[in-house]
């Protein structure tokens, strides 16, 4: 039977993030925590492979203890096992130690055929963790997949690139990152949710993974944030214009050399 | 394969010199985003009197290597093999890793296209160094430290990120962020070509098919005319296209029309679409959800056409036209068409 790992992350729900009307900044504190949307698309493809040929699906996530809710949700959709990678030492990690910690988890699980993840998370959107994990594990990767199938030891997937669709075939083991909205994730089932809560989420820390404290989290991160500053945004006129005054808009755009008028 | 191992500071940072850029291409065409990276790479290198080194990988790359030199690159590293005709992660990452080991660049940049992202963090991990994604401002200080600035969530804050002790210092930028390099007459450059024997173990990925698609690159557009749910249906985009054609713009969309199938996804502006910063952004029937605003709020002039006077987008607009777009867009088209004529008529009267 195939062993599949799905990497997920709990993030603030971006559709609930409110805009501060005065500062025009985003207020994240009111948002609910959800499973990163593309990770659910990744889980769905894992479940389709399970439906087709049978598989053990393990969902892993690095995060604070409360992220176990996200893992339970994935088990309620059909994943078999959930592991939360949680330790104070992991806090403040950039993409390098994040990838290292996830790869160490996958290596400890052993004999993994396919590693799935979302193409990127909505809260940091680097898309860097997936390929990083593949490099740590020394396996090939398929990124930005919008269709994924499995047949006789191979993953066949369609990569969505800016200038076209690329159809690739890679023998397992392979890491696949799945494009947001590329499928419709199945619903949670109440029975599976009850099973998941009974079964519970395992919790692994730095000792279980055999990593050194100076390798992970903030200490293990090659990059540091030196400063944060509010982005100075362009000033806007906020002028209300009625249709009989629409010439004013055109005149302004012409004077700023943005549009040209008077014949081509 | 790097193994399960930590990032490692380099012993002697002075051994690392020059700015490296990975050049992405499809066939004989260099991606515009890579020419943008040459632009910023050249700027950084010249500021600290170092060289710009570009990496070109493919089957036959003489033409591209020459063009890269003409854009102002000092040393073009060209790796050729029939096995490298198409981009594949494993062999490309290996070759770039080998070049980095040999040439020890202080800074290494890639465009954050999908294949650029596919490659970037893989190389960072291979080199046991740090990388900052999607930078909008890149600078270098007198200690040759890369100052990598990237917007954090929602583009409300700019974080300055440093990679102090690891080399190379890596960064990516989204297409459309930097100005493309211009060709320099008489620029002297050197092409170092190498025929590569690619290890067969790296060629496991089979590319069965590539189906090209027409993609709308909104990031290069100076004017974007975008529609939202307020258009009420796919036909509204025809009117927007008419306006866009008149003023040399491209047609964009917020997410709902894309989800409803009124327009294809390559037109989507916003957090899950393209991020644009044109001179003019005309938002038609767009309410202004944070996800959309994040992708267009750096537009110079914003015109909002919306029946709702309280649409969120009005708060960041220069001109607010509270009207049915079916009336307002044709009025705007007429005003543009007749603007010059009116002037002439007035002048004649006077």
User: How far does B342 lie from chain A, in Å, by closest CA?
Assistant: 10
Residue A17: the pLDDT is: 61
User: Is residue B5 in a domain?
Assistant: no
Indicate whether A228 pLDDT > 70: yes
All residues of chain B having their beta carbon less than 8 Å from the beta carbon of residue A221 are 7, 130
Indicate if B116 and B241 belong to the same structural domain.
Answer: no
Interface test with A, best of B112, B125, B222, B267 (most A CBs within 10 A): B125
How many domains, chain B? 2
Angle, helix A95-109 to helix B114-126, in steps of 10 degrees? 80
> Any bridge partners for residue A178, and if so which?
A118, A145
Give a yes or no: residue B3 inside a domain.
no
- Half-sphere exposure of residue B254: CA atoms within 13 angstroms, side-chain side: 23
What's the pLDDT score for residue B80? 98
**What's the CA gap between B309 and A177, in Å, rounded?**
42
Residue B95 and residue B170 in one domain:
yes
Please check whether residue A135 touches B, CB under 8 A: yes
* Domain identity same for B37 and B168: yes
| Closest in B9, B130, B318 to A239, CB measured | B318
- Say if the Cβ atoms of A134 and B122 lie within 8 Å: yes
The verdict on a CB contact (< 8 Å) between B3 and A258 is no
Per CB-CB distance under 8 Å, the chain B contacts of A129 are 121
Q: B264, B248 in Cβ contact below 8 A?
A: no
B294 in the same domain as B224:
yes
Q: Say if residues A74 and A43 touch (Cβ distance below 8 Å).
A: yes
Do residues B191 and B163 both lie within one domain? yes
Domain ranges, residue A64 = 2-215
Residue-wise burial string across B121-138, b where 16 or more C-beta atoms lie within 10 A, e elsewhere = bbbbbbbbbbbbbbbbbb
For residue B66, being part of any structural domain is answered with yes
- The pLDDT value recorded for residue B219 is 84
What are the chain A neighbours of B331 within 8 Å (beta carbons)?
Answer: 243, 246
Residue B289 domain boundaries: 218-349
Structure tokens at B281: 């952004």
Pick the last residue of a domain from B168, B202, B236: B202
Enumerate residues 189 to 248 of chain A having a beta carbon within 8 A of any beta carbon in chain B.
211-212, 214-215, 220-231, 233-234, 236-243, 246-247
**Among B143, B178, B202, residue at a domain's last position:** B202
Among the partner residues A159, A223, A228, nearest to B162 by beta-carbon distance: A223
Determine, yes or no, domain membership for B109. Answer: yes
**Helix axis angle, A95-109 relative to A129-137, nearest 10°?**
50
Residue B212 located in a structural domain: no
Asked if the structure places residue A74 within a domain, the reply is yes
Residue of chain A nearest B152, judged by CA positions: A124
Residue of chain B with shortest Cα separation from A230? B157
pLDDT band at A264 (very low <50, low <70, confident <90, very high): very low
Do residue B182 and residue B236 come from a single domain? Answer: no
A15 Cβ neighbours under 8 A, 6+ residues apart: B291
- Tell me, what's the pLDDT at B290? 84
Distances (CA, A) of A176 to A55, A56, A120, B104, B200: 16, 16, 12, 31, 21
Of A60-64, A219-223, A231-235, B278-282, give the lowest mean pLDDT range. Answer: A231-235
Quick one: B272 and B191 in the same domain? Answer: no
B194 and B234 part of one domain: no
**Given a cut of 70, is residue A206 above it in pLDDT?**
yes
Number of continuous H segments (helices) and E segments (strands) in chain A = 7, 15
Residues B54 and B155 placed together within one structural domain of the fold: yes
Average pLDDT over residues A46-62: 98
**Over the stretch A124-164, which tens digit does the pLDDT of each residue have?**
789 999 999 999 999 999 999 999 999 999 999 999 999 99
Asked if residue B301 lies in contact with residue A258, where contact means CB atoms within 8 angstroms, the answer is yes
Tell me if A170 is assigned to some domain: yes
CB within 8 Å: A132 and B121: yes
Domain CATH code at residue B301: 3.40.50.1220
Q: What does the pLDDT read at residue B350?
A: 60
Residues of chain B with pLDDT under 70: 153-155, 342-350
Work out the burial of residue B282: count CB atoms within 10 Å of its CB; fewer than 13 is exposed, 13-18 middle, 19 or more buried.
buried
**DSSP characters for A158-181?**
EEEETTEEEEEEEESSEEEEE-TT
ipTM, two decimals: 0.90
Residue A33 at interface with chain B, using a CB cutoff of 8 Å: no
DSSP E strand boundaries for chain B = 19-23, 25-26, 29-30, 52-58, 75-80, 107-111, 131-132, 137-140, 146-151, 157-162, 169-173, 190-195, 206-212, 223-227, 250-253, 280-284, 301-305, 319-321
Domain count, chain A: 1
The structure tokens listed for A237 are 């006129």
Q: Which one of B161, B176, B202 terminates a domain?
A: B202
Classify residue A135: in a domain, yes or no. yes
Task: Tell me whether A187 touches chain B (CB under 8 Å).
Answer: no
Q: How far is B48 from chain A (nearest CA, A)?
A: 21
The alpha carbon of residue A154 is apart from the nearest alpha carbon of chain B, in Å, by: 10
**Are residues B169 and B229 located together in one domain of the fold?**
no
Burial of A163 (0-12, 13-18, 19+ CB in 10 A): middle
CB contact under 8 A, A19 and B312: yes
pLDDT at A235: 86
Write the CATH number for A95.
3.40.50.620
DSSP state of B160: E
Helix (H) or strand (E) holding B293: helix B290-293
CB contact under 8 A, A246 and B335: yes
Give the number of A-B residue pairs with CB atoms closer than 8 Å.
294
Q: Does B260 map to a domain?
A: yes
Nearest CA in chain B to A97: B6
**Overall average pLDDT of the A82-103 stretch:** 97
Helix (H) or strand (E) holding B332: helix B325-349
Q: Which residues of B touch A172 (CB under 8 A)?
A: none
Which of these, A193, A217, A194, A196, lies nearest to A205 by C-alpha position?
Answer: A217
User: Does residue A189 lie in a domain region?
Assistant: yes
A22–chain B Cβ distance below 8 A for any pair: no
A243:B213 CB<8 A: no
**Cross-chain residue pair B217–A162, CB shorter than 8 Å:** yes
SS3 of B271, please? coil
Backbone angles phi, psi at B279, to 5 degrees: -70, -35
B120, B156, B318 ranked by CB distance to A236: nearest: B318
pLDDT digit string (tens) for A20-32? 555 545 565 667 8
Taking CB atoms and an 8 Å limit, are A225 and B301 in contact across chains?
no
Residue B303 domain flag: yes
User: Is residue A173, in this structure, part of any structural domain at all?
Assistant: yes
For residue A90, give how far its alpha carbon lies from the nearest alpha carbon of chain B (Å). 13
Tell me which residues of chain A, numbers 35 to 94, contact chain B at a CB-CB cutoff of 8 Å: 94
Minimum CA–CA partner of B130 in chain A: A222
- Residue A73 within any structural domain of the chain: yes
pLDDT of residue A234: 78
- Would B309 be classed as within a structural domain? yes
**A172 interfacial to chain B (CB closer than 8 Å):** no
Shared-domain flag, residues B91 and B196:
yes
Residues of A in contact with B302 (CB under 8 A): 236
Are B81 and B188 within one domain?
yes
> Cβ separation of B212 and A163 shorter than 8 Å?
yes
In percent, the amount of chain A with pLDDT more than 90 equals 83
* β-strands A202-204, B250-253 pairing: unpaired
Q: Is residue A237 part of a domain?
A: no
A18 interface with B at CB cutoff 8 Å:
yes
Integer Rg of chain B from CA: 23
């Amino acid at each position: 039977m195939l062993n599949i790992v799905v990497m997920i992350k709990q993030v603030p729900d971006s559709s609930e993030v409110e805009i501060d009307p005065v500062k025009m900044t985003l207020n994240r504190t009111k948002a609910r925590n959800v499973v990163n949307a593309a990770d659910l698309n990744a889980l769905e493809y894992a479940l389709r492979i399970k439906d087709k040929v049978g598989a053990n699906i393990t969902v892993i996530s690095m995060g604070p203890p409360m992220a176990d809710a996200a893992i339970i949700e994935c088990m309620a959709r059909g994943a078999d096992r959930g592991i939360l990678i949680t330790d104070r030492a992991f806090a403040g990690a950039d993409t390098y130690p994040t990838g290292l910690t996830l790869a160490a988890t996958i290596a400890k699980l052993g004999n993994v055929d396919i590693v799935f993840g979302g193409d990127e998370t909505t809260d940091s959107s680097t898309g860097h963790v997936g390929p990083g994990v593949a490099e740590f594990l020394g396996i090939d990767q398929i990124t930005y997949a919008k269709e994924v199938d499995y047949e006789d030891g191979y993953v066949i997937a369609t990569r969505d690139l800016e200038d076209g669709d690329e159809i690739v075939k890679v023998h397992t083991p392979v890491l696949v990152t799945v494009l947001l909205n590329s499928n419709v994730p199945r619903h949670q089932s109440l029975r599976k949710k009850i099973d998941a809560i009974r079964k519970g989420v395992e919790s692994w820390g730095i000792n279980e993974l055999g990593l050194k404290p100076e390798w992970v989290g903030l200490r293990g991160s090659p990059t540091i944030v030196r400063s944060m500053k509010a982005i100075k945004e362009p000033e806007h006129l906020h002028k209300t214009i009625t249709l009989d005054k629409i010439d004013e808009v055109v005149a302004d755009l012409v004077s700023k050399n943005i549009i040209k008028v008077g014949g081509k | 394969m790097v193994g399960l191992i930590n990032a490692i500071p380099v012993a002697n940072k002075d051994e690392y010199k020059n700015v490296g850029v990975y050049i992405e291409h499809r066939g004989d065409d260099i991606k515009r985003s890579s020419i943008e990276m040459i632009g910023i790479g050249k700027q950084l290198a010249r500021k600290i009197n170092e060289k710009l080194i570009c990496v070109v990988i493919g089957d036959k790359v003489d033409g591209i290597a020459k063009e890269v030199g003409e854009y102002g690159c000092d040393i073009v590293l060209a790796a050729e093999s029939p096995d490298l005709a198409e981009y594949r992660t494993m062999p490309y990452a290996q070759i770039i890793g080998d070049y980095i080991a040999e040439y020890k660049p202080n800074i290494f940049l890639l465009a954050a296209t999908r294949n650029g992202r596919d490659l970037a963090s893989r190389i960072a991990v291979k080199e046991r160094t740090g990388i900052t994604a999607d930078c909008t401002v890149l600078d270098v200080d007198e200690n040759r430290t890369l100052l990598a600035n990237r917007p954090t969530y929602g583009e409300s804050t700019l974080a300055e990120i440093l990679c102090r002790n690891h080399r190379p210092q890596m960064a990516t930028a989204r297409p459309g962020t930097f100005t493309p390099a211009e060709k320099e007459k008489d620029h002297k450059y050197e092409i170092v070509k190498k025929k590569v024997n690619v290890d067969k173990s790296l060629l496991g990925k089979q590319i069965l098919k590539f189906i090209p698609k027409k993609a709308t690159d909104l990031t290069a557009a100076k004017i974007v005319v975008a529609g939202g749910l307020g258009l009420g249906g796919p036909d509204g985009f025809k009117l927007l296209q008419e306006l866009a054609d008149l003023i040399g713009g491209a047609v964009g969309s917020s997410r709902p029309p894309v989800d409803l199938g009124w327009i294809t996804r390559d037109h989507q502006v916003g957090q899950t679409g393209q991020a644009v910063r044109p001179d003019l952004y005309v938002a038609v029937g767009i309410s202004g959800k944070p996800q959309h605003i994040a992708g267009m709020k750096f537009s110079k002039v914003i015109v909002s056409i919306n029946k709702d006077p309280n649409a969120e987008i009005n708060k960041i607009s220069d001109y607010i036209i509270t009207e049915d777009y079916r009336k307002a867009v044709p009025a705007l088209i007429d005003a543009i068409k007749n603007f010059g004529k009116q002037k002439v008529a007035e002048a004649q009267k006077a």
